Structure 1
């Protein structure tokens, strides 16, 4: 019988076409919870560094009614620090941050040295189809539908953009002229 993590990894294997990821563990700071793992795919899809987490969904949050989230980041960079930032946030904020669409997260400093971005917002992952990120059943046989993972997209942004989203909502920002994978872009707002 496949475990929860084995079912999740099998799902990711199908999505990546069997490409071999790199795994980076993040030690748990939460008593009773195992750590978070960063699952990093190079050049998936073409030219992008794509990171997914496992371990955020092991926590509980009152807003998680239809599934527990894991995170996905896809950026035009080869710097694995992007993956480490997402893994760090997943571990540090699990149980307290809902990671719901439109949420912003202030990282508090530059995420990587070469980019001026200091924050993220959460929305649907741009590199996955709806069926691939909603309702991933990782429950044990006989309890299907009781343990569901949803994959939430993480998008790096500038501080001015974070403030704009917090004040006006995500939709006006989303409709502005910006490239969600370009971590060296100028602020869109």
Structure 2
């Protein structure tokens, strides 16, 4: 039976660059499966492998900086077993998600359409979308709920955007 990375590689049509992160819970490593140029040229998409049986994270940003693809796995390794990683949640992070970026937190929601289209080909794995956000946007989400940020107009793929809250 194919593994999640094998399903993912077949669905995307290329092999990922893999980074491994040692989790805080002492279990198996969490892997970042990073695809440059997916779903479009000038974009990077990173998936976790090893978060939880049946659930993984996916982040897509418009950049050539492949470090963004490792963000979900780095956060999952730090919080696995202590955070449910469900859509509608905001997660704070201790510093910039990627060096030089003003974004310090994550919002969990449905993945972008191109990533969501992969789900039928992934052997039953649920993908949760990960969106980098500013600390003020995280605070707004904590104070007034997910929709208070999600329903505002903002470029969810721009890792250098200005805050909307």
Structure-2-length-normalised TM-score? 0.89
Q: Does 1:15 align with 2:1?
A: no
The CA distance in 2 between the partners of 1:135 and 1:44, in whole Å, is 16
Residue in structure 2 matched with residue 142 of structure 1 by the alignment: none
Task: Specify the SS of the correspondent of 1:105.
Answer: strand
What is the total number of aligned residue pairs between the two structures? 163
Residue in structure 2 matched with residue 101 of structure 1 by the alignment: 87
Structure 1 or 2, whichever has the larger Rg, is 1
Residue in structure 1 matched with residue 108 of structure 2 by the alignment: 122
Gaps of 5+ in 1: 59-67, 138-147
Q: Does 1:111 align with 2:101?
A: no
Residue of 140, 161, 165 corresponding to 1:164: 140
Contact residue 107 and residue 133 of structure 2 kept, 8 A: yes
Cα separation, partners in 2 of 1:172 and 1:113, compared to 1, 3 Å: same
The CA distance in 2 between the partners of 1:75 and 1:103, in whole Å, is 19
Cα deviation for residue 133 of structure 1 reads: 3.3
Structure-1-length-normalised TM-score? 0.78
Q: Does 1:45 align with 2:31?
A: no
Residue in structure 2 matched with residue 141 of structure 1 by the alignment: none
Contact residue 134 and residue 150 of structure 1 kept, 8 A: no
Gaps of 5+ in 2: none
The CA distance in 1 between the partners of 2:85 and 2:9, in whole Å, is 24
1:1-189 equivalences under 5 Å are: 2=1, 6-16=2-12, 18-31=13-26, 33-46=27-40, 47-58=42-53, 68-126=54-112, 127-129=114-116, 132-133=118-119, 136-137=122-123, 148-189=124-165
Contact residue 108 and residue 131 of structure 2 kept, 8 A: yes
Poorly superposed stretches of 4+, deviation over 6 Å: none
Cα deviation for residue 98 of structure 1 reads: 0.6
Residue range with higher mean Cα deviation, 174-183 or 84-93: 84-93
